[in-house]
Each structure stands twice: as structure tokens, then as C-alpha cells.
Amino acid sequence: MRSFRCFSHFGWAVCGTFILVAAVVVFPGTSNAQLFPGGPVSTAGALSGTLQQLSAKAADGEYNPADAQDALNHALVDAGIDPQSPVAFQQVEDAMAKLQKIQQQAQQNGNTNQNPSGTGSWYFGKIYHGVKYNTSYPLTNNCRIPQNVTITYPPNIPLAGPQNVEVPAHTKISVPMVLEYPPFPPVPPGGPQPDMLFWPQIGSIESLHRKTQTSRQTAAGTYVYVCHEAQITYKVRVDLFNGPTPEPQGGGGGGGGGGGKKKPGPSDKQQPEQQTASSACTGLWDFNQFTATPEVHSAAECANYIREQAHLLFDTMLQPYRSADPSRWAWVPTGTAIDLLSVQQIMSLKTVVQEDLAAARQATSTL
């Protein structure tokens, strides 16, 4: 009979129609050779595909032990292997420990391919009437697909800019904004004089990252990736001068009009030292550190280089170890599966692979 199932594959949900053999029932002690006389499937082979899917998901920082165990046990049952047999049970336990390690590495790297919600503060400092202050507002999209962001401005502070912005995948942009209070009204003769003090104005600006998803059809089914909704709120404070804008000392014209000084945004940082384009990507692979250059603005732009290095490490360098102990390396993506991984996923997996590889070499050298 046919059954419609959904699994997770490299950060994508996999839905498709699969063929089930209704007459197969697995009893303790039954071997896959008895159930499938056309050729037995090893435990490592049965787990490999599902385990690579789960490891890619863990490299996004997502790991649910119960779901992982269920998926691995299903893979064994589908191959005619008893999940409670000593060998299969131990390999599932080892696999889940590996998945947890990959998740921890991904969280340590801060790579989740999602945008966090949060709050912050944005202090403009001392502001005068009739002066235009140019500033910028940072927006970051950690997702693998572009995301539309809606910006809501404080109603009581004249901060203006675009209301809807599309942020490319794995990119940080600066949204230009302008803060400008109208000129201070003339003081009538004999009327009350302003106190000429700075008074705080408090408001908030919000950026809502709207939920976005994409899908594609493959032979295995429909792959769906979801970039979840997130909201970031900054508390805005402006110290507004209560009085006419003072004339600059030493002449040079009035204090109004455009071209005023720039105010810092919520998270302005010093510009990194310039490096060559190749060093941006090689530095990311070698040291897990990315520094933007004029040619390479985000780690996502290093995808081709990072995937080439992953093929060398996962496919070529690991091959002798994989042949000697398939179950130990069944979780490592290979071949075209590597090309479905994001840069962040590869970097998290690479760290765990290198640690395991060092341990394997150490064990070999002591024999």
C-alpha cells in the first residue's frame, strides 16, 4: 500500500509518497536477510540516509531526541532490521550522541539559519529643531531565502524611512533613515521663553521579519524550507533641545537644512580591515571566522568554495575511514547531499568531523 510521509532533509521538510510492504512484521531476532532474501542491508547502510538528513538539521541547531530516535528506528524497520537488536540499538545510541554534538557545535557557532526576536536600545543623543540627521538602521537575515521586513516607526518621533524592505538571504543591510524635527516656532514678544534645556523623547521602532517559505520538487518528494517570523524592537531616545537652534560659533551660516551630522544606528561597528576576496573565504574555512571584504560581503558568497572544501574532506579524505568503519561515519553527508547544505551547516559539521578524524588517527597510531 502507499503511505504519505513527511521527514526533514537538510533543513527542509520532505513530503512524498512511499511504498510500504504491509505483510512485513519484524520480530525480535529476525534478520533482514530473512525478510529481504534479495540482499541484506547493513545497519550502517540502513541508517545512513536518515542520519545524514538528521545531521544536516542538527547543523542548523535543530535536534529533537525523540523525533530523531523515531526516524532512525523507522529507517531500520523499513530495511528489515530489528531496532532492539544489540548492534542496531547501539548504533542508534551512538548516532543520537553524534547529533547532539553537532547541534551543540551549531549553537556555539550561532548558526541557526533563522532570525531571532529581541529588544535593544537606540540613543540618538542631543537633537535640535530644524536640523536633518541622517542615520541607518541595520537589518540582518540569517535565513536561506530572502525575507520581507516591515518597519513600524515611533509615532511621536519624526524618524522616517522605508516601511517595507526585502533583505537577501544570509545578508546584513543598512536601511537609510532621516530624523528631522520641524523648526522651533517663533517666540512671540512678551510671551513665555523656552527653558533652553534638552528634554528626553521616548519611543520605539519595530522590525517584523515575516514568515517566508519556499519549496522544490525532487524525486524524493517536496522539500519545504520555512524562514520563521521574528520581531525586533528598539527603544528610541532623543534628547530634544527646547528652544531655537543655536547659531554655530565663528560664523558659517545657520544650523538648519540638510547635511547635518550622522547619528549612530543601533549596532554600528568599526569597519573591518580590508582583505583579499580569497582570504575572506579561506579564513572562514581554516579558522571558522569570516571578515567581509569589498568583494565578499557575506559568508553565503563563499558557498562554492566552502562546498568544494567539504567535498575534499567529506568525500575524499574520509573515504578510507568510512570504508574501514561505515557506521562511525554514516552521519557525514556525501556527494550531491553536500551541495544542499548551507555554509553554516557545513562549518558546524566540519568541526565535528575534524574532531572525530583526529580521534580516529590517534586510535590508529596507538595500535
Residue 140 pLDDT: 87
Is pLDDT of 269 > 50?
no
Spatial contact of 294 and 274, defined as CB atoms under 8 Å apart: yes
What whole-number distance in Å separates Cα of residue 198 and Cα of residue 211?
41
Closest to 62 measured CA to CA, from 30, 15, 108, 99: 99
Is pLDDT of 362 > 70?
yes
The 3-state secondary structure of the chain reads CEEEEEEEECCEEEEEEEECCCCCCCCCCCCHHHHCCCCCCCHHHHHHHHHHHHHHHHCCCCCCHHHHHHHHHHHHHHCCCCCCCHHHHHHHHHHHHHHHHHHHHHHHHCCCCCCCCEEEEEEEEEECCCEEEEEEEEEEECCCCCEEEEEECCCCCCEECCCEEEECCCEEEEEEEEEECCCCCCCCCCCCCCCCCEEEEEEEEEEEECCEEEEEEECCEEEEEEECCEEEEEEEEEEEECCCCCCCCCCCCCCCECCCCCCCCCCCCCCCCCCCHHHHHHHHHHHCCCCCCCCCCCHHHHHHHHHHHHHHHHHHHCHHHHHHCHHHHCCCCCHHHHHHCCHHHHHHHHHHHHHHHHHHHHHHHCC
Residue 26 pLDDT: 37
For 290, the grid coordinates are 569570516
Check residues 246 and 182 and name the one with the higher pLDDT. Answer: 182
Instruction: Report the percent of the chain where pLDDT is more than 70.
Output: 75
pLDDT band at 264 (very low <50, low <70, confident <90, very high): very low
Residue 121 pLDDT: 82
Handedness of CA 311, 314, 315, 320 (dihedral sign): positive
pLDDT tens digits, residue range 194-253? 888 888 899 999 999 999 888 766 444 556 677 888 898 888 888 899 988 887 654 443
Residue 222 pLDDT: 57
Spatial contact of 131 and 255, defined as CB atoms under 8 Å apart: yes
Phi, psi for residue 55 in degrees, rounded to 5: -70, -35
| Contact residues for 209 (Cβ-Cβ < 8 A; gap 6+) | 115, 141, 147, 148, 149, 227, 229, 230, 231, 232
Residue 34 pLDDT: 41
What whole-number distance in Å separates Cα of residue 325 and Cα of residue 364?
12
Task: Give CA angle at 325 (287, 339), nearest 5°.
Answer: 45
- Work out the mean pLDDT of the chain and round it to a whole number: 77
pLDDT tens digits, residue range 29-66? 434 434 333 445 688 888 888 888 888 888 877 788 88
- Average pLDDT estimate for 148-158: 95
Task: Give CA angle at 254 (253, 256), nearest 5°.
Answer: 135
Give me the residue spans of the domains in the chain: 2-109, 118-269, 279-365
- Give the highest mean pLDDT range of 155-159, 351-355, 363-367: 155-159
Is pLDDT of 113 > 80?
no
- Average pLDDT estimate for 138-153: 90
Closest to 156 measured CA to CA, from 264, 242, 240, 232: 240
For 118-269, CATH number?
2.60.40.10
Check residues 80 and 267 and name the one with the higher pLDDT. Answer: 80
